[in-house]
A and B are shown apart, each in its own frame.
Chain A
Amino acid sequence: MSTPFQIAVCGSIVPDPLQTLEPVIGPAGPSLKNEMMLPAVLDPWAGHALFEAAHLARKTPGSKVWLVSLAPKAKLQQVMMTVAQKVPFELVALDGPASGFTDSFETAAALAAAIAAIPGLDRAKLLVFGGWESASRGAGSTLQMVGERLGITEQFQGVDQVTVREDGGLEILERIEGGRHQVSVCSAPPAVLGWATGNLPEPRNNPQIGMANMRAIMPALQRAKATPIPNTGLSFASVSLPRQQRETRIVKDMPAEEIAREIVAWMAEE
């Protein structure tokens, strides 16, 4: 039987992808216009990491999953109402910014400290999960620094699959160039895994899981420490929206063969 895992999933919230985003620059640096009013969701890659963690924990009896999240706690609470119904986990909340303009170095420091402070954490069983990037900062650098701060140098990014082998080792598939995967075997935890999309569909809502999770989530939100991210030494000269409107030519009633000729001619243009 496999050794149980202790899985800390780092993940925060991002604006709902269907929302229009507009940057504003204030005295504290850039942010989004009406940021606190925008509906939020769990970061998609962090979501994949959480679902994969729960899947691994379910297959490995005795395992446990924590979601370690740095976000404004009022918005985090709203998002938890949905996420808590998906899979069993315990929340470790930090009350701070979830903006894409926050620095990954300082974010990593806060997350690593929160993981290290989890009561009863056994680092020999620890797997640190998270999205390989976020849909906000998109840096792909936070998890590596969390790992370094926790002394973990077995790290993997762009993970799509983890298989626990008979000998307890982890076979890990990481995305590399050209649509391929690098296959590695990590003999044992601790390890850091930044997830790409994985292979699991989003779990259906389960109100029973939701009720069980929420019993611990509400106290965790109340305990959430204020965690400012000052962005030391980082300055933004400009933040702007790209010019994205094109003059679309809409072609109706053209025979398919003629459209095909036009497309082939366009493909041949330099």
Chain B
Amino acid sequence: METVLLLAHTEPDGALAKPALECLTAALALGGPLTVGLVGARVEAAASQIAGCGAARFLAVTGEAFAQPRYSTDAAAAEALCRAAGAAIAMAPSTSRWARALPGVAYRLGGRVDTHATSVAAENGAPAVTRWFYRQRMEAVLSRRERPWVILLDPGCFAPWSGPAGTASVEPAAVAVPETRTTVTGVRSPKADEQTIRPDAKLLFVAGAGWTKKQSDGAVHAAEAETLILGFLRAAQASLGGSKSLVDLSGEGEAVLRFMTHLNQVGQTGSTPRHPKGLSTCCHGEEPHVVGWRFVNQRRAINLDPNCGWARGKADVLYVADAFEVMQHVNRLLGA
């Protein structure tokens, strides 16, 4: 099997996050000699965390310039690590930081890149990548002749590596800090006062445009909808998704759910989150939305229309009912 480089960046606390440990599992499964390449202000804690993984080498690019996610510095660091390791395959978790920088690194190295891999397996001594095309509507297995081959692995596809911590001997990789015109000034949360997107939640709760339409009494109850949804999210620690029609209403300035932004959008032009369960409410379950549910295993929906998309084989259970009424009872049962 070919040589493999795992690229991982540290988190603000100096450790490696779960996606990096998942990617380590995938890299080890390929069976080739493994080098670990670490990037961050300091990497001692991260190297110790995975010292027992069996890697042949630990390389690192360190320093304050490499603490913050930024294309130019991240690309320079990854390029230096790839050149120092000389590996045929470079694997990295598909974090926003690596997804931004590594395609450009593949170009610099004269290699190729594949992103959003959901599986990587050795076939006839070479890796084969599984990934989705057309927004999760079809799945392909592909391989490449060019090397190095940079592969970004989606989170949630492998079990995170776990093993004893220890002490690793880390070799510095030489890199000049590139000139940059970009200054990272901070991180901003959405306008909403509380977190509604929880990638690790067991349940995805999706709200559709029906929450903002006239109800049986002929009136719109957006404020009540907000209270019900936020109450449920708090009690269930669920993650919030929205249909395109609902988040578009928000963008058009109509009186809608104030905490709903495009960041919550699930579907063809939104995200494809991974959760064990999903509950859809007031949403018709049409195909462009449901492609965003590809990685939600158990699906239930509440909708007044018994002929909606969810009824056509897209949900396990469709409750034909008034979501306002049902969610009031759910919240009461959850103590919200």
Contacts and interface: CB of A to CB of B under 8 A. Distances in A.
A15 B128 CA distance: 27
A248 B138 contact: no
Contact of B316 (A141, A149, A246): A246
A177 B138 contact: no
A155 B317 contact: no
B104 A147 contact: yes
23 contacts: A14-B134, A18-B288, A101-B133, A140-B103, A145-B103, A154-B180, A157-B99, A158-B100, A160-B263, A177-B95, A177-B199, A182-B69, A182-B96, A182-B188, A183-B187, A233-B145, A234-B143, A237-B123, A240-B140, A248-B314, A249-B317, A260-B326, A263-B330
Interface of A: 14-15, 17-18, 21, 23, 30, 44-45, 100-101, 103-105, 108, 135-142, 144-145, 147-149, 153-158, 160, 171, 173-188, 196-201, 232-242, 244-254, 256-257, 259-261, 263-264, 266-267
Contact-size category for B: 35 or more
A26 to B, nearest CB: 14
B175 to A, nearest CB: 14
A237 B190 CA distance: 42
Nearest to B188: A181
Contact of B318 (A108, A158, A178, A249): A249
A44 B269 contact: yes
Given A177-B95, A180-B188, A233 B146 contact: yes
Contacts of B75: 153
Main secondary structure of the interface of A (DSSP, over half): mixed
Given A140-B99, A148-B104, A179-B196, A201 B313 contact: no
Contacts of A101: 133, 140
Nearest to B145: A233
A137 B140 CA distance: 11
Contact of A15 (B97, B123, B134): B134
Q: Which of A141, A233, A261 has the most CB of B within 10 A?
A: A141
B315 A197 contact: no
B214 interface: no
Contacts of B202: 267
